Structure 1
Amino acid sequence: MTPEALTPERILEATEDVLRRYGPAKATVVDVARALGVSHGSVYRHFRTKAALREAVTSRWLERTVVELAKITNGTEHPAPVRLRFWLTTLFEAKRHKAGDDPELFATYSVLIEENSGVVEEHIRELVTQLREIIEEGVRAEQFAFMEPSVAAQAVFDATARFHDPAYAPEWRKPTIDGDFAAVADLVLRGLSA
């Protein structure tokens, strides 16, 4: 690959492949460069440090979920309670698929997430903001009881942690998990109802 064809996005794709193959402890910038057919200096021109590269990969991975959820948050064709349930379901399914479809990469990201707490904190802020927007709309439309939307959004996020926090990933394979999720979602929506 020529240095001109090397883009940050291509580097991040190659980094994911290298992380999947070697794991976070053994993957190096040299491995990424080798996979791209360039020198490690070419990679460093786009990402100044190994830590910056790992942070960018983590951010990209988390952002995929945020983008999908934003479509639900910004949609107006359904009332807020329907959108909230769909948002919670989509978040759970996204996290469950990440854990089940590519367990090696999920395990790698679990390590990277611990290293990049600032990236994770920003991801959580984005998710809670989306929840707040849905709840605010529901309060305005009198579909949800009057409440402080920011407080309610954080409470909903915390109450559903079992279905999106990677620490609970082993539970997501249990045969009862869908029923457990439905029960919690029902409880949350009843608690918000006007």
Structure 2
Amino acid sequence: MPPETLTPDRILEATEDVLRRFGPAKATVVDVARALGVSHGSVYRHFGSKSALREAVTERWLDQSHAELSAVAEAAGPAGPRLREWLTALFAAKRRKSGGDPELFATYMVLVGENSAVVGRHIETMVEQLAGIVGNGIRQGEFRPVDPATAARAVWDATNRFHDPAYAADWSLPGIDAAFDAVCELVLRGLVA
């Protein structure tokens, strides 16, 4: 049977495995190539540097939540429940990532710190989705007239404890769900017409 075609996705999957095993400080492109059974030059043909590979892994990890959240943001129906559903889905996704694979989550924390441009694009995408929900709520008369982009950024900032990885240790504390509900309620009350 011929070997599998080397694709960027295969390389990124192997890189995640290597990062999980060795951590970001010790993982090398040679380790990734070895895991794939190819030369490190083959990996470099897809990703020009170790930095580019690490940036792509970080971007892939952050982008995994975009599709689910985008579906909520673009769904029909009242904006208030959608906003709460979007925030709940974001919090749940962050919890899954931090609790489901703590080694990889710790690795990504390092990579996120290195790749602020990737993180900036991720946050911009998230805030744009929030602005879409807020704008829809304004057009439906459900939310008071405000600048959707400004309100979206305020919602993002107000809910920071429930999505910023710096607060991951809080996400399993007793009472965190009640705190999340209280913040969501406060945010929604602030937007309602």
The TM-score normalised by the length of structure 1 is 0.97
SS at match of 2:24: coil
| Partner SS for 1:19 | helix
Tell me the distance in 2 between the aligned counterparts of 1:55 and 1:2.
30
Q: Percent identity?
A: 65
| Counterpart in the other structure of 1:17 | 17
2-side partners of 1:70 and 1:21: how far apart?
Answer: 32
Contact 1:2 1:38 in 2 (8 A): no
Counterpart residue type for residue 29 of structure 2: V
Q: 1:49 to 1:20 in 2, by over 3 A?
A: same
* Whole-angstrom distance in 2 between the partners of 1:167 and 1:3: 41
2:109 corresponds in structure 1 to: 110
Q: Encode CA deviations 1:38-67: one digit per residue, 9 max, x unaligned.
A: 000000000000000000000000000111
1:166 aligns with 2:157: no
Q: Deviations over 1:98-129 (max 9, x none)?
A: 00000000000000000000000000000000
Letter in 2 for 1:156: V
Unaligned runs of 5+ in 1: none
2:125 partner amino acid: E
Partner of 2:36: 36
Aligned length: 193
Q: Could you list the runs of 5+ residues in structure 2 that have no partner in the other structure? A: none
Q: In structure 2, what is the equivalent of residue 70 of structure 1? A: 70
Aligned Cα root-mean-square deviation (Å)? 1.2
Q: Counterpart in 2 of 1:184?
A: 183
Give the drift of 1:175.
Answer: 1.4
Structure 1 residue 2, shift from structure 2 partner: 6.8
**How high is the TM-score relative to the length of structure 2?**
0.98
Q: Distance in 1 between the 2:134 and 2:39 partners?
A: 49
Higher deviation after alignment, 112-121 or 64-73: 64-73
CA distance in 2, matches of 1:4, 1:167: 38
Q: Which runs of 4+ in 1 moved over 2 A?
A: 1-4
Residue type of the partner of 1:68? E
